Amino acid sequence: MDKLVEHLTRGVAQRTSRRSFLARLGQTLVGAIAIPLLPVDRVASRAHAAEKAAAANNDTGCEYWKYCAIDGFLCSCCGGASHDCPPGATPSPTSWVGTCHNPNDGRDYIVSYRDCCGKAPCGKCFCANTEGEMPVYRVPLNSDLVWCFGAPTMVYHCSTAEIVAVK
Amino acid sequence: MTKRIGLTLAACLCALICCASFARAQLPPDHMKSLTLPLASPDWVFTIDLQWPVGLISKVWIINGRTRKMLGQLSGGYLSNLEIAPDHRHFYMIDTYYSRGWRGTRTDVVSIFDARTLDYQGEIVIPPKRILVVPKRYDSGLTPDGRFLLVANLTPATSVSVVDLKARKFAGEIQTAGCTEILVSANRRFSSICADGSFMTVTLDDSGKAKSKTQGKPLFNPNQDPAFDQPAIAPGKAYFVTYHGMVLPVALSGAEPVAEPEWPLLGPGDKGWLPGGWQAVAYQQKTGLLYVLMHKGGAWTHKEPGSEVWVFDTKTKKRVRRFKLKEPGYCMRVTDDANPLLFVMPPALPEANLDTYSATNGRFLGAYKHIGSSILLYGP
């Protein structure tokens, strides 16, 4: 629900930019009042960009750049890391794949989404990102499946994102 | 003095009479029993609850959609599916169990329940390779005559397990290389969707063995515009919606599926709207109306819950209605009875609700709240 609210909020934010809001507000206010708002807006924009950059590098959040197509509980919130399983959970030898843009170096990377298996679902930090995600009849590109094929059990614990190569 | 004694005696007499009448009014002892249900009616709704984050024991909620009252539950296994017998006399859950809960030996079974008592009646063991996925409607299928239950397998090699419900035994496995899901189109025929947008069609003999298997040319291009993997099924036809907002009708009544001309969900002024969700599309047979969950979004927002429902006449291919939802919808089902209902569920996490609307005018009728992490809607 947090993600949904966040997404909806972002949607509203995208459709209603601060600048357009301020422009409309400015039409109803005298210039003397509107002008002092503009520096505040610049500061707010810089803050927003900084927040976005921080989110893109926080591997316990759904906006982490490698997680563009991750679907499940983040192993980095479950005692593991972005590409490591928590203790006692087994990395699946199989995975679905996605392509994510790294804003830090401007490159696109092929990312392998490998599940950690052998424990009941972790339950923390659920993300449902869908960039490049395909229906289940395109098996290698579908994230709804339990990707524990080849692991000792098909019991899903959490999800990781492993860089495979630069695209 | 004599008068006082008389009054005391009268008071005692009154007290005795009162006690006696109270004793007569006491409640009888309770006699506990298990209730039973009538056979399912069209306004009942069944949900598969994953029970995340535990997830190893699924649950089915059975709810009277009109009264919004829970009627009972079924218990199942890991990422279970449900099928309802065409005569409504049995429910089948397709389950996976590990012998020690989260570890041990895997066993896949079809569990059989009596529809009136909800008692477990028995099981049919199937190969331990059924598809383990966040449940989708076409992970399994039932032939219209109720004879064969078909279960999609994915290891990740793809095949279908055939269960003979009459004999209550596993009948065999059919390879469906590169194709998954089960769209049942006749008593002895089903199709699976293949990675390139083609369909593999299998006909069965009366013992459940494959009699023929064909795979035609692609009916759509998943690289350009993927079709959602949970179409709405009409008699002899599947209505797919696509990521980019088209409707793709596929006729299933012949020996092989045939694509009919695509038509758009979006008209002038609808730019930016797309279909999305899990069960994003539903069909009402009586009216020929197609209900679609729609949201405002861009590329790769195919799992975005719908903020509105758009209703299309499949004959004219025109939108006849649209209405806003009280909360965003992820799954949807429409009934076909008098005063039809539209059931809409928000995403399973953190918790699902069953919102009920009039399918005729979109009026919100009420919600049955807190139905766990329900992810899939079924009906009789």
> Residue A49: what pLDDT?
79
Residue A48's pLDDT band (cuts 50, 70, 90): confident
CA terminus-to-terminus distance, chain B: 80
Class of domain A45-166 as given by CATH: mainly beta
Whether A115 is catalytic is yes
Q: Do B133 and A145 touch (CB under 8 A)?
A: yes
Chain B CA closest to residue A68: B300
ipTM of the complex model: 0.92
Q: Which two tokens stand for residue A41?
A: 């807006």
Query: Looking at the predicted structure, is the pLDDT value of residue A167 above 70?
Result: yes
Tell me what the pLDDT averaged over chain B comes to. 94
Of B102, B192, B350, the CB nearest to A155: B102
CB contact under 8 A, A11 and B297: yes
* pLDDT tens by residue, B133-172: 999 999 999 999 999 999 999 999 999 999 999 999 999 9
Q: For chain A, what are the domain ranges?
A: 2-37, 45-166
Grade residue B24 by pLDDT with cuts at 50, 70 and 90.
low
Of residues B322 and B15, more confidence is placed in B322
* Percentages (nearest 5) of helix, strand, coil residues in chain B: 5, 45, 45
According to the model, what pLDDT value does residue B297 have? 96
Confidence tier at A94 by pLDDT (50, 70, 90): very high
Name the token pair of B141: 């299928």
* Lowest-pLDDT range of A7-21, A122-136, B131-145, B226-240: A7-21
Of A128, A135, A144, the CB nearest to B226: A135
pLDDT at site A51: 84
For the ranges A35-49, A129-143, B15-29, B232-246, the lowest mean pLDDT is seen at A35-49
Q: Could you tell me the pTM of the whole model? A: 0.87
Token digits of residue B114: 């009596």
What domains does chain B contain, in order, with CATH numbers?
A: 35-218 (2.130.10.10), 223-380 (2.130.10.10)
| Tokens at B109, concatenated | 């079974």
- Identify the weakest region by mean pLDDT among A62-71, A158-167, B5-14, B17-26: B5-14
In three-state form (DSSP H/G/I as H, E/B as E, the rest C), the secondary structure along B76-108 is: CCCCCEEEECCCCCEEEEEEEEECCCCCCCEEE
